[in-house]
Amino acid sequence: MKYFLIIATILLISVSTNAQRELSLEDVITEAKSKSIRSKQIENRYQNSYWRNFSYKKQFLPSLIFEGTLPQLQRSISSVTQPDGSESFVNRNVFSSSANLRLNQVVPVVGGNFFVGTGLDHIRLSGNSNSITYLSRPIEFGYSQNLFGFNQYKWDKKIEPLFFNEAQLLKTEEIEELSKESVNKYFDLLRSQLSMKNAEKNYLNNDTIYKIGKGRYGYGKIAENELLQLELSLLNAEIAFEQEKVNFELNRQRLATFLGYSSNENIQLKLDSIVPDFEINYAEALKRAYELNSALIQQERDVFEAEMNVARVKSSNRFSLDLTATFGLSQTAPTISEAYLSPQNQEFVSLGVRAPLIQWGLGKGRIRQAKTNAELVKSTIEQEKIDFDQEIFVTVANFNLNKKQLAVSKRANEVADKRFFVSKQRYLLGKTLITDLQIAQQEKDRSLINYINAYRSFWVSYYDVRKLTHYDFEQNNVIEN
């Protein structure tokens, strides 16, 4: 029975160890990019832009369309004009069908539409009179365009490529933002994990010191006030330890669900001691940002869209002509074969005119409003460019500063940890006061938090730089996702 319990305990420990998932910062970022809900949202937004660009390109290719009515039946009593000019109501049963095939091609330069097609219509009439008629259109050409009107295709050629380029850059920036979010989630849990371990050590240290203090109090070496202070420190350490366990559990669940795991996933983090050793030059970072940042593409697109709106408003408030012209062959006969014999020419030309005469200044007001809005967009972009330069400067400065602060806080943590150890040993030997030991412990705890926060600030600023510049200064290459 004894050996059975030993084996069961070993197996339980083994299973528990295997179930534990140990992750580094790089692991968390990699998992977030591949499994998190945020990564799926980023990809979905990009795919939406991809298919928008796909549709934009395809609209300039020829399209083949079939239209038909198969069949249409109408039964009614209708008024029919007789040969003598009189009107008579007769029963009419009309069975009709039609089939049309048309090839359309847009003409982007002028905004027109050209088509070529063929078709066949069939009408069968029964009732007071019976007849069968076919109407064929073997070939038909047509062209339509709004002369002097707004050409959407012209503006699409300027705006849509920018929109897709912006979406590609924005995807990279969102992935870097996801990396930064992963950094924050990682350090939330790491701080709780290290704070919990530190709180446990503090609790055990205070428990040991309290027990020693009780012994000293029994021998009359310390006063009751110091013993009570030791007991209070022990109770506070126990409360702090319990609180840190709760914080750790909450942050563990948050990180697990963020990465797409079950909320019960047993995650432990390991702190990477390797930090990228490089500094970033502001001028180079600014140059990289102006080459690839999506905000600058968006600004260019905003200008085009404002100018497009001006052109649209001007077009809708001035003289315009709608041209439609068709040419083809047609024939009608009682049989299909005869309907294609000796087809006759058919032409249709229409020129519609639209000219606003009196609007009491309405058109002028709309045009001025559109122009004013375009000027506002341009002036806003000028300010955004100034703010962008400042953002690059601040981000680069923060990165270089955080790198230095990380080295300082790491050393401060080591010094504070060693000082507490020395203070503890001196107190156990009776060579220092309890207040000195408590101060050393508080400084140790504070230095640990400052160290973790410095680590977090460094990596957050690291991914801020990557997001703004689209450049990996550690590897000296453009970031591609």
In this predicted structure, the answer to whether residue 14 has a pLDDT above a threshold of 70 is no
pTM above 0.75, yes or no: yes
pLDDT band at 1 (very low <50, low <70, confident <90, very high): very low
In this predicted structure, the answer to whether residue 7 has a pLDDT above a threshold of 80 is no
Q: What is the assigned CATH class of domain 23-54+157-304+372-478?
A: mainly alpha
- Distances from the Cα of 379 to the Cαs of 21, 87, 152, 172, in angstroms? 53, 72, 25, 28
In this predicted structure, the answer to whether residue 13 has a pLDDT above a threshold of 80 is no
CA distance 67 to 117: 11
Give phi and psi for 341, each to the nearest 5.
-95, 135
CA distance 437 to 429: 12
In this predicted structure, the answer to whether residue 4 has a pLDDT above a threshold of 60 is no
At position 434, the amino acid (one-letter code) is I
pLDDT band at 266 (very low <50, low <70, confident <90, very high): very high
pLDDT of residue 147: 86
Burial 386-401 (b: 16+ CB within 10 A, else e): eebeeebeebbebbbe
pLDDT tens digits, 115-124: 999 999 988 8
- Distances from the Cα of 161 to the Cαs of 53, 62, 377, in angstroms? 7, 20, 20
In this predicted structure, the answer to whether residue 15 has a pLDDT above a threshold of 90 is no
pLDDT of residue 17: 44
User: Token pair for residue 307?
Assistant: 């100018």
Kindly list the domain boundaries of the chain, sorted by start residue.
23-54+157-304+372-478, 61-107+112-150+319-355
pLDDT band at 458 (very low <50, low <70, confident <90, very high): very high
pLDDT of residue 99: 93
pLDDT tens digits, 111-145: 899 999 999 998 888 766 788 899 999 999 999 99
Element containing residue 63 per DSSP (H, E): strand 63-81
CA distance 169 to 470: 8
Mean pLDDT of 201-209: 91
pLDDT of residue 9: 44
Mean pLDDT of 322-326: 91
Largest CA distance in the chain: 140
pLDDT of residue 438: 85
pLDDT of residue 309: 95
